[in-house]
Amino acid sequence: MATEHIVVVGAGQMGAGIAQVALQAGLRVSLVDVNKDGLAKGADRIKAGLKKLVEKGKLDAAKQQAAEANLATFTSARDAKDVDVAIEAVTENEDLKRRIFLELDEVVRPGGILATNTSSIPITRIAAATKRPEAVIGMHFMNPVPVMQLVELIRGAATSDETYATIRAMAERMGKTTVVSKDYPGFIVNRILIPMLNEACFALMEGLGTAEDIDTAMKLGTNQPMGPLQLADFIGLDTVLYIAEVLHKGLGDSKYRPCPLLRQYVDAGWYGKKSGRGFYKY
């Protein structure tokens, strides 16, 4: 299958990062976002990322110029033509994703692939919204995309071997290492990570230690680069809560119950770094 032209839907940090590594791999990228300001910021973020690589000597100027020339921006995916692969990277909202996939089904050429960057929503349910469930796959990048090497590939119930092989090859072309997860809530990374972050919230709520002490203990005691509460702030507490709810609902085990303190912070609008306040102030 050809993968020379991809459309990335969502120009936020994740979408812009995916677009950047695709451009670095020599792919032609159409970046789509309904928000014009968000779209412009996403394009600027990509160009700044490419410039930084040139300054660090990791990308030559000619490849930078070629990458920028291969980037197009649109406020509607329907404006992108001859698309081989679509990668959806919008917020973790299943209804929104299913609506987008209905549209992408009409945009991507026959025989093309529809991928989602979802971090927790079952691929099989998203695929059911399309006319080509065999061509739908999970392609979960880690944040920040240009730095983190891992991509989780998640096969839905109908995902074909050809779809999997094509997307794996494309991810490797982007310089990523892939792992394969079954289509269960949270996949591999978040199935393990989110309960740890949630447990850190319980530890804070129960007064086991201060946020600083909990994070320092985990950094120095388990050699993690960032403490769990600070990491939750960087991910976004609303996102952490949403994934915890997906795990709790999808697996039906009380051990995945979201911490009440986490829910309270989200109710207060304290989403972490992006809102200026979470477990820490920014």
Q: Looking at residue 268, what DSSP letter applies?
A: T
* Residue 199 near residue 230 (C-beta atoms within 8 A): no
- CA–CA dist 78, 107 (Å, integer): 6
- Count CB atoms within 10 A of the CB of residue 47: 17
Please give the pLDDT value at position 120: 87
In the chain, DSSP assigns E strands to: 5-9, 28-32, 71-74, 83-88, 108-116, 136-141, 150-155, 177-181
Q: Is 187 helix (H, G, I), strand (E, B) or coil?
A: coil
What is the mean pLDDT of each successive set of 10 residues along the chain, which is 282 residues long?
90 96 97 97 97 95 96 95 95 92 94 95 94 97 95 98 98 98 95 98 98 98 97 96 94 96 98 97 97
List pLDDT tens digits, range 15-40.
999 999 999 999 999 999 999 999 99
Please give the pLDDT value at position 56: 95
Please, what is the average pLDDT of the chain?
A: 96
- pTM of this structure: 0.91
Kindly state the tokens that stand for 252: 């039906």
List pLDDT tens digits, range 173-229.
999 999 999 999 999 999 999 999 999 999 999 999 999 999 999 999 999 999 999
Instruction: Give the chain's length.
Output: 282
Q: Is 59 helix (H, G, I), strand (E, B) or coil?
A: coil
- CA–CA dist 278, 23 (Å, integer): 34
* Residue 190 near residue 181 (C-beta atoms within 8 A): no
What is the longest distance spanned by two Cα atoms in the chain?
56
Please give the pLDDT value at position 113: 98
* Fold type of domain 5-182: Rossmann fold (3.40.50)
Please give the pLDDT value at position 17: 97
* Fold type of domain 191-274: N-(1-d-carboxylethyl)-l-norvaline Dehydrogenase; domain 2 (1.10.1040)
Domain layout of the chain by residue ranges: 5-182, 191-274
* Residue 113 near residue 84 (C-beta atoms within 8 A): yes
- Count CB atoms within 10 A of the CB of residue 104: 28
Strands 136-141 and 150-155: antiparallel
User: Residue 200 to residues 97, 113, 178, 217: CA-CA distances in angstroms?
Assistant: 30, 38, 28, 11
Q: Is 232 helix (H, G, I), strand (E, B) or coil?
A: helix
Active site residues: 119, 140, 152, 190
Strands 108-116 and 83-88: parallel
